[in-house]
Structures are given as C-alpha cells and as structure tokens.
Structure 1
C-alpha cells in the first residue's frame, strides 16, 4: 500500500468515525464544512484523496485537528510516530515539502522547546496538570522517554506525543547527543 493509499484509507475511516461521534448526517457535515455531500461520500468510501484544503475544512467542521482526522489512535497515553509514518502533506518538484510529524487535540497555552541531552543525562518531570500534552520530535540520537516508568524509544526522525499528567523522564542512554524539539500544550485555566 502506498503512502497515498494509506492516507486515503485513514481519512475515510476517521471521517466516518468522527462524523458518527458528532451525530452529523452527510448533509449536516456538508453544510458545516462547505464541502459537497458527494465529496464526503467519496472520501468516506476511500474513492478519492481530497485536497489539503478540503481535509482542513472537514477537520474544522468536526472540531478536530487535521492530525486527528488523518490518523486517530487512542489507547496508550503515549503515541510514537516512526519517521516513515509521518504524513507528507505537500511537496513540489523543486524539493519543497511539509510533513505533519505529530499532532494532538489540545487547547490552551502552547510552548515550543529545543532540547539537547548529552550521553548519560536525563531530565525528570513531575506530573503536569491534567490536560497537559507534550509533543516531541527527535532530530539527532535516540531518546528513551519514560512515562509512568515505561520506556519508549524515539529515534532520530521519529516523533511522539503523550499526556504529561503522568510522571515522565527524558533520558539519553546512547553514546551521542540527543537533540529534539518539544511542544507543550497546557490547558487553559478554568
């Protein structure tokens, strides 16, 4: 299955799922998104791969992120996205591209961090407030991410997201520095 086929199947499955969870009929979603009913049917049957603009309209109408619409997998509080499963959303023959590395359904303040962990170093964190989510993308080395004392290996090029109300530790168990970018989404104060 090609990347495009995989994307088309994920979008079909998730659009149908989220439309059902919201209780939207085809006509309701079409009106909310400004997308034809026929287009939604074709997408849900995996017969077409819509433009990025159409996918964004549908995600907005459903109240979810484009990441969630393209591939939503609940279960573990940690989701590691291997480099080969990141979704290329746009590219040109000249070599320009955008790749959706990882995303989450969080609202509130958002922080972006740059990290460098030398071999043998670690950084432990107490649980953050409920609703806090961290997203990481490792660019160099191999990070061992512990969440609730469970290790998760995140290699260069891979990304992960987790609910940060669990105790967590970033550890470099390798022999080269680990460099990563981290985004932290903090729930708004109620």
Structure 2
C-alpha cells in the first residue's frame, strides 16, 4: 500500500470514528465544518484525498488536531515520527511546503509544523475555532505574517504568537527562502 493510500485509509477511518464519538451526523459535521455532505461521504469511504483546507476545517469542527485525524498509530505511549513518516500537507511548484511533524490530543490538540516558503509563495488559512493559538519561529529568511489583514514582518531569529480565529496567511515577499517551525494549539471540542 502506498503512503497516499495509507493516508487516505487512515483519514477515512479516523473521520468516521471521531464523527461518531462526537455524535455528529453527516449533516451536522458538514454544517460545522463548512464542507459538503458529499465530500465527507467520499472521504469516509476513502474515495478522495481532500485539500489541506478541507482537512483543517474537518479537524477544527471535530475539535481535534490534523495529526489525530490522519494518524494510523493511535494509543502508543511514545510515538516517534521519523522524517519519512511526517505528513507533507501543502506544497507548491516553486518548492514551498508545510510538513506536519507531530501532534497530540493531550489537554487539547497540539501540532508541530515545519515550513519552507520559497520567494513569492504564500499560504492562506481560514479562521480556526476561537481559542486556537499559533506560535512560530523563523529560522531563515523573513516571513510576512498576515493576521486579520495586517502584515507583520518576522525576520530570522524572531518568534511570534497570535490568536488564529481570524483569516491569516504566511507570505515570502523576499528573495530568499523562509524556513520556520510552527506550533498550533487547538481548544478541545465542547
């Protein structure tokens, strides 16, 4: 089974499981996530690989991390994630990419990401649930962090944190690659 097939199967199984644990009907989850009922059915039947945006919306609506939604090794006391097991969630033809390194559900979902943004590239995000916080540290280049429409330059060596319940984006307006590490803390579902 290819990595993509394994990811598709894990997502299908975990989405159905978490939807059931939350007591959400297909319609209820579709409404909460802003994703069509048909798309959720296709995902649960492992017939499609949704975009990162749809995956984020589903995880947010369920109150879990993307890691939990994609994970196929739940419940082990120590989980090591080797580089080849990290999940590349976003990429562009220019070579930019975001990789979900590891995450946990302890005291609410928490995710750790590695990002590379090539010059001229950008990634936008819809608002996450209220109470979601993002922390990031730029290790190379200068990131333009856009939160609620306001740009904030974040040069190498600088860290930032913000409430991610508003539209936000990560841009590289410079001429060299931006490298950063980001953690996302998501409040538990109510």
CA displacement 1:9-68 (0-9 Å, x = unmatched): 111111001011111111111111111111100000010111111111100110101111
Task: State the match for 1:78 in structure 2.
Answer: 78
Alignment length (residue pairs): 113
Under a length normalisation based on structure 1, what TM-score does the superposition of the two structures give? 0.54
- Structure 1 segments (4+ residues) deviating >4 Å: none
Q: Against the structure 1 CA distance between its residues 105 and 75, is the aligned structure 2 distance closer, same or farther, given a 3 Å change threshold? A: closer
The CA deviation at 1:3 is: 2.5
Task: State the match for 1:27 in structure 2.
Answer: 27
Pair 1:18-2:18 in alignment:
yes
SS across alignment from 1:98: strand
Q: List aligned pairs for 1:24-63, cutoff 5 A.
A: 24-63=24-63
RMSD between superposed Cα atoms in Å: 2.4
Q: Which moved more, 1:49-58 or 1:88-97?
A: 88-97
Aligned mates of 1:6, 1:81 — CA distance in 2: 15
Unaligned 5+ residue runs, structure 2?
113-180, 186-190
CA displacement 1:56-87 (0-9 Å, x = unmatched): 11001101011111115333321111221110
Unaligned 5+ residue runs, structure 1?
113-180, 186-190
Aligned mates of 1:96, 1:32 — CA distance in 2: 30
Aligned mates of 1:51, 1:69 — CA distance in 2: 14
Aligned mates of 1:92, 1:61 — CA distance in 2: 26
Under a length normalisation based on structure 2, what TM-score does the superposition of the two structures give? 0.54
Aligned mates of 2:43, 2:33 — CA distance in 1: 14
SS across alignment from 1:12: helix
Aligned mates of 1:104, 1:83 — CA distance in 2: 17
